[in-house]
Amino acid sequence: MTAHHTSVLLRGDDVAVLLDLTAGRLPAILHWGADLGDLSPADAAAVAAAAVPPPGPNLPDTPPRLALLPEAHTGWVGRPGISGSRAGRDWSPRFAVTGLTLDGAPLAADGSDAPTLATGRHLEVEAGDEASGLGLSLTVELAAGGLLRSRAILTNTGTDAYQLDDLTLAYPVPAEADELLDYGGRWGKERVPQRRAFTLGTHLREGRHGRTGADAATVLHAGSPGFGFAGGDVWGVHVGWSGNHTHYAERVLTGERVLGGGELLLPGEVVLEPGASYTSPWLHGSHGRGLDAVARRFHRFMRARPGHPDAARPVTLNVWEAVYFDHALEPLLELADIAASVGVERYVLDDGWFGARRDDTAGLGDWFVSPDVWPQGLHPLVDHVRGLGMQFGLWFEPEMVNLDSDVARAHPEWVMATGGRTPIPSRQQQVLNLGIAECYAHVRDAMSAVIAEYDLDYIKWDHNRDLIDAGTQPSGRPGVHAQTLAAYRLMDDLRAAHPRLEIESCSSGGARVDLGVLARTDRVWVSDCIDPLDRQRMLRGTTQLVPPEMMGSHIASGTSHTTGRSHTLNFRAATAVFGHLGIEWDLRTAGPEDRAELAEWIAFYKRERGLLLRGDLIRIDHPDPAILAGGVVAPDRSRAVFSHALVASPDTALPGRLRLPGLDADRRYRVRPLLAGRPPALRPPAWWGDGEGVVLTGAALAGAGVAAPLMFPENAVLHLVEAVD
């Protein structure tokens, strides 16, 4: 580690990350972005030398050095990477690197003063500070798809306890990244984009819900002003953690700009005894030309994982909006018969099947089939569903409890609380402390017994309240960190015991959407609002992180249960097919025409789900905010499906032309309307002809486009694009 210039280049998927580790210091990112091509050791040393600024007025004589874990001792005046102490001591550590491993092989100094450069994908850094009694392990890797990710492990090597208050990692971005975009939202309207200038100071997004939150930043971006889906250099970060967390963008007076994040720790939540360690969540970073390129790196990273869901995602019926808590065998059998007749492949029984759960005031936490409602257990329903060729799934909310339940009466100490008081109720429920070993074992064993008895294919895992006053009785010490890890462990344990089991993460809709939970589940529920007008925008925002095959995307009831708006089946279905398709509708109320049209849409989805759920995401920058357009393009550029949705009244009489980007510029494609069932009332453009469409090159489709149909607002039309040569 004593070479004159020690550099590591992480390179792949058109991305390069150049790290400087000169003189045994923590890695500093010199470049994160487009590939730099082949570099020599001298080239890397020159990049490092060229990056050193001159001394500034009234600043340290040596310019501060920004490491992956920012260090205050260098003169860095932004957020430090570590905040903590031993009763006020050892609060400003100075780490020295003691070991480097690249792609599993140790890196050693060659003893000369010549620059060194090693190239790979996965770097492990060991460091320590004897004076503060702290050890540090850093992992930095360029993962599949060109996604940069890193995490830290902090170890107490001292002789007394160390209280860790904060540990965050940071990635620098260039001065061109002068505009920020992240997401806000609420229940029923998740992932609403918001923009602002990247001004001096800190743009801090804290999630204190004890879960990710409907208002989470999701991905915090910085990019060149005016960046869109296709244009502008964009950098984005995401913290893969399902508890309290932080995302931040910071610009300091010396000019540096960083994007960073980590877990948000409550006071005294992590106290490291001698020899103990804390592992941070993964901080993921994605760079690309436009937001679509940033999103596709997240998607490719997820799709490269072992065990990632394939494109043959079963069409699902969830019966919540059909029956709510009113469970009875005959209506549920009728729903199963209708569902099978239109092509549904998975049937999910939602809340209300267990304990005394006849409404939302009682029974939560008692995970046994209600003998009053189901005297023969669930077997008559399960057997009937399976006999129709469908899979069967159940709803659980393992982390929550009603005080009016057997488990809460038997173990009031399992309810998370602090200050000698019961936390304020939310949705008539409290939080079960899975950080208590006995509580964890009880929930795990009860769930596992039900899963085993009915050989469940799928569980919808809900999480319907924030963790307020979430302490461990009787001490009251905060327990969100332990609760999050316990929830992860519970998912992992159930999957290990039941290898075929699929898990959906639902949390008051989309309040737990992050790569931490997606590492151990098969999809997320985007929102409890499935009104297609709102879902058009929410799907658009959610795909910035989540690949379509992992987004629960259901065809809603004719009249939305959350907004009261009514929409055609065409609009509801044309919206829902760009995700893991399902139905949230009392099909007993659907007439013959609706059922026939629904069957057509399901048949289309089954034919095209390989494209819809494995294609590259395309979202089109359209000048009219009333038009939302986009789609998916096959990786080999042979086929595509595009949507043209009118979500408001446009300001002009005619819709103009729609560009279709992402295709091979030199190939010729046939574009034709894709009209299932009863299409919306519209005036078609001339090029539709008799439905055969028009043949154009990919360059013409991206540059000149095609005339869009004239529709009433709150409708959508799909177009199928297929190569003809």
Percentages helix, strand, coil for the chain, rounded to the nearest 5? Answer: 20, 35, 45
**Number of C-beta neighbours around residue 424 at 10 A:** 10
For residue 354, give the nearest of 372, 337, 342 by alpha carbon.
372
Rounded percentage of the chain residues whose pLDDT exceeds 70: 99
| DSSP designation for 422 | P
- For position 597, what pLDDT does the model report? 96
Beta strand spans in 443-597 (E): 458-461, 471-472, 477-478, 502-505, 523-525, 551-556, 580-584
All domains of the chain, ordered by start, with CATH? 6-303 (2.70.98.60), 618-723 (2.60.40.1180)
Confidence check: pLDDT of 110 > 80: no
List, for residues 571-607, the tens digit of each pLDDT value: 999 999 999 999 999 999 999 999 999 999 999 999 9
Residues that are catalytic: 462, 528
Was 427 annotated as part of a binding site? yes
493 is in an annotated binding site: no
C-alpha 630/C-alpha 642 separation (Å) is 5
60 vs 8: which has the higher pLDDT: 8
* Alpha-carbon separation of residue 432 from 368, 396, 408, 445 (angstroms): 17, 13, 9, 15
- 464 annotated to bind ligand: yes
At 700 the three-state DSSP class reads: helix
462 annotated as ligand-binding: yes
From start to end of 103-208, where are the E strands? 105-107, 116-120, 122-129, 134-143, 147-156, 162-173, 179-186, 189-197, 201-207
Give me the pLDDT at residue 679, please: 81
Which residues lie below 8 Å from residue 137, measured CB to CB, with a gap of 6+?
124, 125, 126, 127, 152, 153, 155
C-alpha 97/C-alpha 138 separation (Å) is 10
Mean pLDDT score of the chain: 96
The H-assigned helical ranges of 4-108 are 41-50
The residue behind tokens 């992402």 is 662
- pLDDT digits 0-9 by tens, 115-168: 999 999 999 999 999 999 999 999 999 999 999 999 999 999 999 999 999 999
- pLDDT for the residue numbered 725: 83
Name the nearest CA neighbour of 234 among 202, 198, 200, 206. 198
Of the listed ranges 471-485, 496-510, 666-680, 689-703, the one predicted with least confidence: 666-680
The angle at the Cα of 351, spanning 345 to 356, to the nearest 5 degrees, equals 140
> Is residue 404 annotated as involved in ligand binding?
no
| pLDDT higher than threshold 90 for residue 61 | no
Helix (H) or strand (E) holding 601: helix 592-612
Residue pair 28/138 in contact (Cβ under 8 Å)? The answer is no
CB-facing half-sphere around the CA of 442: CA atoms within 13 A: 20
- The predicted-structure confidence for 388-414, as pLDDT tens digits, reads as follows 999 999 999 999 999 999 999 999 999
d(CA 384, CA 39): 64
Task: Give residue 47's identity as a one-letter amino acid code.
Answer: V
* 2 band by pLDDT with thresholds 50, 70 and 90: very low
Q: Specify whether the CB–CB gap between 303 and 613 falls below 8 A.
A: no
Percent with pLDDT over 90 in the chain: 94
109 band by pLDDT with thresholds 50, 70 and 90: low
- Residue 3 pLDDT > 50, yes or no? no
Residue 171 has pLDDT above 60, yes or no: yes
In 10 A of CB 500, how many CB atoms? 11
Determine whether the annotation assigns residue 457 to a binding site: no
pLDDT band at 690 (very low <50, low <70, confident <90, very high): confident
Is 189 flagged in the annotation as binding? Answer: no
Q: Is the dihedral of CA 460, 465, 467, 469 positive or negative?
A: negative
Global confidence as pTM: 0.97
Tell me the two tokens of residue 392. 């069967």
pLDDT of residue 680: 84
Instruction: Name the residue with tokens 């964009």.
Output: 234
Position 1 pLDDT exceeds 60: no
Angle at 189 between CA 188 and CA 193, to 5 degrees: 165
Q: Which residues contact 162 (CB under 8 A, 6 or more apart)?
A: 84, 85, 86, 90, 133, 134, 156, 271, 272
